[in-house]
A and B are shown apart, each in its own frame.
Chain A
Amino acid sequence: MSPETTDGLPARILELGEELRREGIAIGTSEILDAFDVLGEISWTSKDDFREALAATLAKSQEDRRVFELVFDRFFFRTVEVAARQEGVSEDEFVALDELSEDELEALRAQIAAALRDGSEGAMRDLARLAIAALARRQEGSGVIGVDVQRIRRALGLRAEPQPDLPAGDPRRDGVPREALRRFEALLRRELERSQIERTGNLPPSRPLGELDRALPSGPLADLAAVHRVVAQLRRRLATQGMQARGHRRHAHVDVRRTMRASLQTGGVPVELKFRPRRPRRPEIYVLCDVSTSVTSASVFFLSVLHALHDTFRKMRSFVFIERISEVTDIFERERNFKAVSERISTDAGVADISGYTDYGRVWSEFLEQVEDDLHPRATVIVLGDARTNGRDPRAEVFAHIAARAGRTFWLNPEPRLYWNYGDSVIAAYEQYCTAFECWTTAQLEDFVRALTRPAATAGR
């Protein structure tokens, strides 16, 4: 296999590796070599074996595996299409089924529903093509594949929910299995894409998988489970990262006292050197979290981040605020369950007065009152909030005082940077005293975590 070959399977595998790398999966040369090794051991005629074998060597976590599935399907589908175009092979254009009577259509619907219920892949593929032939022609294609897929699905009356008004024998009555429906939609999408490629004679540009830019769940109905997944990952990373940072600063300070003491055993000759143990300095962290209505969607997320941080850092004090400030450290320490924590905070934190609008000025002075004596250069202060003062005095000088007392000060703002300093946002007043991060996607959160776990350069030892 020479690297110049541009056709044949080796080249395809390399391209697949490239594409996976573009989607952010770490694939090294060793993975690629492994992939070639495993392909020597299995038969290539079974698509499942082929895919599983490649996945075992290329995708090394569940998250990677999910991306792999998507890329694999798209990649080999495209490869086949490219080859077909080069060879001049084209499948017959769909037979135009313009005039399908309502009865025939109803029969088709029932047939598709039955195939979905039984979950047979081959039948589903054929029926997907039939459905496109029957329905996509009747209505003008919208040009957007996703829209067409949904239109066809609706026209077929396929729904995951039970449809009790249908006759008893109809397979759609109890609802179509969600998994089968998803697969059928994928088949529709693929067939539509194929016919589009054949019509236009070229491939649409391949786009990176959009859904992978995982934005933070937002909106009050944000899926708590999704938040938890993100946070769990974050926690793992925190646990691992702290470790690495500690490993970097290897030091060997001889503990003279203990060495001398040990040398007594060997007659005063210091045979065994005793080193000072490396005690990782756990940062002391103060977190202030805005829980007012303007950040409702973000505060669910922030609270769970707080929760995760609490598990990782021992010395940490947390506060929530709206108009006033309230310490919630012991709630987090007592309650291990996130749901209980957020309930406790909403019931007995007592942070809102009358208006329910955030008053940053007051929050700073109250915070300073409570912790001024404890703040020292090794402490880190993190503020989670949107810096919208509702027209009240920001009292940036108090914040400056806090930042000066503490070693590091971070600000996490759930708004995109574009909105900063518009309206009543006064983040500019605070930003000069702290490092501000925009934080509305997990990637941004990870940036912040990296900054946080990196030991402060100025930290005294």
Chain B
Amino acid sequence: MPSAPTSVADLAGGLREVGYLPGEATTLVAYLAIKLGKPVLVEGPAGVGKTELAKALAAHLDRELVRLQCYEGLDEAKSLYEWNYRKQLLRIQTEQAGTGWEAVQEDIFGEEFLLARPLMTAITSEQPVVLLIDEIDKTDQEFEAMLLEVLSDFQISIPELGRLQARTHPVVLLTSNNSRELTEALKRRCLYLWLDYPTLEHELEIVHLHAPDLDEAVARRLVEVIGMVRELDLKKPPSIAESIDWARALLLLGVREIDADTFNETMSVIVKHRTDMDVVAERVGLKLRSPADVA
């Protein structure tokens, strides 16, 4: 269904179809982003489905997903465009004799010699795309400044060529783990969406969707336990992906009930730090024991 959604409910249904259960705010902001053509800045703890949202949007809108993974030191050459230097050299060499500089210059700084990197791919694509700029907080401020032109006007200025205007309007998502404050200028151009850990019911639904064979009671217990674990002060609280993994693991093991023993055995699926494991075993393991003893 390549057409734009007509209502928020429509979009929610569409995202569900492709296996993503959005929260209410998520659907609304995504809908507004598509309608208004504004980028969305998605923030939240690791593993709450920020990247998944982009993938789901792309799948639902039937668009290609162009992904730019950010890291420290990412620069224009890696993100926007680069001149295909070797090809240019070859061209010069083959035409060495006879052609004047003027002719060659016009030749070698043409689009043919441009290597498109993700941002440019997204801008110049014939079909509208979903552009995902992942972990924007990992880059330097200089890079952010460069993004401003792309995000507000959907165009790229290349000194030798002039401006490249977007032919279609991409849906842009920027994700951030909040490891550094983003600049006001960037925030100003975006809609803001804070993705948090889902509520109990919502997460239960997600687990159901991804592990449909898991027993209802076990799934509920699982989500409750995950909630408990997240309350603790851990280095890395379990993400949604980890609850799904755990649900699948329990399914494989054929577990009928989560008691202290099962928990201790399978804990490593959701907790991934030595010190965290001690904390969790002590605090949650004990809690699991007490109702079992009473029963």
Contact = CB atoms under 8 A, between A and B. Distances in A.
Nearest to A41: B35
B192 A60 contact: yes
Contact of B181 (A34, A59, A237): A237
Contacts of A247: 141
Interface in B181-232: 181, 183-184, 187-194
A26 to B, nearest CB: 6
B28 A34 contact: no
A38 B36 CA distance: 7
Given A56-B32, A239-B180, A34 B25 contact: no
A37 interface: yes
A28 B25 contact: no
B190 A60 contact: yes
The 7 closest A-B pairs by CB, nearest first: A60-B187, A60-B192, A56-B191, A52-B25, A236-B181, A41-B35, A56-B29
Interface of A: 26, 28, 30-31, 34, 37-38, 41-42, 48-49, 52-53, 55-57, 59-62, 65, 225, 233, 236-237, 239-240, 243-244, 247
A31 B191 contact: no
B141 A31 contact: no
Contacts of A56: 25, 28-29, 32, 40, 191-193
Interface majority SS on A: helix, strand, loop or mixed? helix
Interface in B23-69: 24-25, 28-29, 31-32, 35-36, 38, 40-41, 43
Given A236-B179, A240-B183, 8 more contacts: A37-B36, A42-B8, A56-B192, A60-B192, A65-B192, A239-B180, A240-B141, A247-B141
Interface residues of B, number: 30
B29 A52 contact: yes
Contacts of B293: none
B233 interface: yes
Given A42-B8, A240-B181, A53 B192 contact: no
A59 B191 CA distance: 9
A207 to B, nearest CB: 27
A48 B190 CA distance: 20
Given A41-B31, A61-B192, A52 B24 contact: yes
Given A37-B36, A236-B179, A237-B181, A53 B194 contact: no
Nearest to A58: B192
A414 B28 CA distance: 46
B159 to A, nearest CB: 17
Given A56-B191, A60-B41, A243-B141, A236 B180 contact: yes
B289 to A, nearest CB: 18
B245 interface: no
Given A56-B29, A56-B191, A243-B141, A48 B24 contact: yes
Contacts of B233: 225
Interface of B: 8, 24-25, 28-29, 31-32, 35-36, 38, 40-41, 43, 140-141, 178-181, 183-184, 187-194, 233
Contacts of B41: 60
Contact of A53 (B32, B141, B190): B32
Contacts of A28: 188
B105 to A, nearest CB: 16
Contact of B192 (A42, A48, A59, A239): A59
Q: Which of A59, A60, A243 has the most CB of B within 10 A?
A: A60
A26 B184 contact: yes
Q: Which of A34, A239, A243 has the most CB of B within 10 A?
A: A34
Contacts of B180: 236, 239-240
Contacts of B187: 60-61
Given A26-B184, A30-B188, A31-B188, A62 B193 contact: no
Contacts of B181: 233, 236-237, 240
A8 to B, nearest CB: 22
Contacts of A41: 31-32, 35-36
Q: Which of B40, B181, B189 has the most CB of A within 10 A?
A: B181
Contacts of A233: 181
A62 B32 CA distance: 19
A62 B41 CA distance: 12
A197 to B, nearest CB: 31
A414 to B, nearest CB: 26
13 contacts: A28-B188, A31-B188, A41-B31, A41-B35, A49-B24, A56-B25, A56-B192, A60-B192, A62-B178, A65-B194, A243-B140, A244-B141, A247-B141
A128 B184 CA distance: 41
B172 to A, nearest CB: 14
Contacts of B192: 55-57, 59-61, 65
A247 B36 CA distance: 34
A59 B43 CA distance: 12
A225 B233 CA distance: 9
Given A62-B43, A240-B180, A240-B181, A52 B28 contact: yes
A240 to B, nearest CB: 5
B133 to A, nearest CB: 16
Nearest to A239: B180
A411 B185 CA distance: 34
A60 B31 CA distance: 18
Contacts of B194: 62, 65
B69 to A, nearest CB: 21
Nearest to A224: B233
Contacts of A53: 28-29, 32
A49 B179 contact: no
Contacts of B31: 41-42
Contacts of B24: 48-49, 52
A34 B35 contact: no
A34 B141 contact: no
Contacts of A30: 188-189
Contact of B191 (A34, A42, A237): A34
Contacts of B179: 236
A37 B8 CA distance: 16
A42 B36 CA distance: 11
Contacts of A240: 141, 180-181, 183
A65 B189 CA distance: 17
A104 B184 CA distance: 56
